[in-house]
A and B are shown apart, each in its own frame.
Chain A
Amino acid sequence: MYAFHDVHKRYGLRTVALRRLSFEIRKGEFFVLYGPAGAGKSTVLNLLAGITRPTSGDITRAGQSIVHLPPERRNAAMAFENYALYSHLSVAENLAFPLRARGMAKAEIDKRVHQIAEVLGISHVLERRPGFLSGGQRQRVALGRAIIRPADIYLLDEPIGHLDAKLRHRMRAELKALAQEMEATVVFTTTSSKEALALGDRVAILNQGRLEQVGTPAEIYHRPANTFVAGFVGDPPMSLLPVTAEVGGGQSILRNQDGHEVCRVPAQLAGHRDLRMGIRSNSIRLTAPDTQRALPGRVAVIEHLGHSNIVVVSVAGVEVSVSVPTTVPLKPGEPVGLSIEPTGIHLFEDEKALATGGA
Chain B
Amino acid sequence: MARITARNLVKRYGAFQAVHGINFDIEDGEFVAILGPSGCGKSSTMRMIAGLESISDGEILFDGRRVNEIRPRDRNVAMSFENYALYTPITVYENIAFPLRAAGVNKADIDRKVRDIAAKMELTPLLEQMPASLSSGQAQRVSLARALVREPSVFLLDEPISHLDTRQRYRMRRFIKSIHQEFGHTMIYVTHDQEEALALADRVMVMSNGEIQQLDTPQQVYTRPANVFVAGFVGEPPINFFDFTSETDGEITIEGNRITVPESLRPHLGRIGKRGTAAVRPHFMELGETSPIRLKGRGFITEELQDHNEIFVDVGETRVSLVTPPDKHVARGEEVTISINPDHLLLFPPRQQKEENFDVV
Secondary structure at chain A's binding surface: helix, strand, loop or mixed? mixed
Instruction: Flag if A332 contacts B181 (CB, 8 Å).
Output: yes
Chain A positions within 8 Å of B174 at CB level: 300-301, 303, 312, 319
Q: Which of B200, B305, B356 contacts A198 (CB 8 A)?
A: B305
Instruction: Flag if B306 contacts A164 (CB, 8 Å).
Output: no
Instruction: Flag if B306 contacts A163 (CB, 8 Å).
Output: no
Interface residues on A, range: 35 or more
Q: A236-B170, A301-B181, A305-B199 are in contact. Are A164 and B360 (CB under 8 A)?
A: yes
Chain A positions within 8 Å of B279 at CB level: none
Output the least CB separation between B52 and chain A (Å).
Answer: 26
Chain B positions within 8 Å of A333 at CB level: 181
Asked whether any CB of chain B lies closer than 8 Å to the CB of A304, the reply is yes
Q: A121-B355, A163-B360, A173-B312 are in contact. Are A307 and B222 (CB under 8 A)?
A: yes
Asked whether any CB of chain B lies closer than 8 Å to the CB of A169, the reply is yes
B97-105, B228-236, B242-250, B288-296 - interface stretch: B228-236
Instruction: Flag if A136 contacts B238 (CB, 8 Å).
Output: no
Chain B positions within 8 Å of A218 at CB level: 304, 306
Chain B positions within 8 Å of A231 at CB level: 167
CA A194 to CA B323, docked complex, whole Å: 13
CA A121 to CA B177, docked complex, whole Å: 38
* Nearest A residue (CB) for B283: A307
Identify which of residues 319-361 in chain B touch chain A, using a CB-to-CB cut-off of 8 Å: 319, 321, 323, 332, 355-361
Asked whether any CB of chain B lies closer than 8 Å to the CB of A326, the reply is yes
Asked whether any CB of chain B lies closer than 8 Å to the CB of A162, the reply is yes
Instruction: Flag if B301 contacts A301 (CB, 8 Å).
Output: no
Asked whether any CB of chain A lies closer than 8 Å to the CB of B263, the reply is no
Chain A positions within 8 Å of B356 at CB level: 166
Asked whether any CB of chain B lies closer than 8 Å to the CB of A111, the reply is no
* Nearest A residue (CB) for B168: A36
CA A310 to CA B174, docked complex, whole Å: 11
Output the least CB separation between B228 and chain A (Å).
Answer: 12
* Nearest A residue (CB) for B200: A303
CA A304 to CA B170, docked complex, whole Å: 13
Most buried by A among B200, B223, B237: B237
Chain A positions within 8 Å of B357 at CB level: 134, 136, 164, 166-167
Chain A positions within 8 Å of B307 at CB level: 221, 234, 280, 282
* Nearest A residue (CB) for B332: A177
CA A134 to CA B359, docked complex, whole Å: 7
Asked whether any CB of chain A lies closer than 8 Å to the CB of B129, the reply is no
Q: A134-B357, A301-B177, A305-B199 are in contact. Are A191 and B281 (CB under 8 A)?
A: no
Asked whether any CB of chain A lies closer than 8 Å to the CB of B173, the reply is yes
Q: A136-B357, A234-B306 are in contact. Are A169 and B237 (CB under 8 A)?
A: yes
CA A333 to CA B178, docked complex, whole Å: 10
Asked whether any CB of chain A lies closer than 8 Å to the CB of B131, the reply is no
Instruction: Flag if B177 contacts A303 (CB, 8 Å).
Output: yes
Beyond contacts A169-B238, A307-B222: 4 other A-B pairs, Cβ-Cβ < 8 A, are A135-B361, A237-B167, A303-B198, A312-B174
A-B contact pairs, 16 of them (CB 8 A): A36-B165, A135-B361, A164-B358, A164-B360, A167-B357, A169-B238, A173-B319, A192-B166, A198-B310, A217-B306, A282-B307, A301-B181, A304-B219, A305-B236, A306-B198, A306-B222
Residues in chain B within 8 A of chain A (CB atoms) = 37, 165-167, 170, 173-174, 177-178, 181, 194-195, 198-200, 218-219, 222-223, 232, 234-238, 281, 283-284, 300-301, 303-307, 310, 312, 319, 321, 323, 332, 355-361
Residues in chain A within 8 A of chain B (CB atoms) = 36-37, 121, 134-137, 162-167, 169-170, 172-173, 176-177, 191-194, 197-199, 217-218, 221-222, 231-232, 234, 236-237, 280, 282, 300-301, 303-307, 310, 312, 319, 326, 332-333
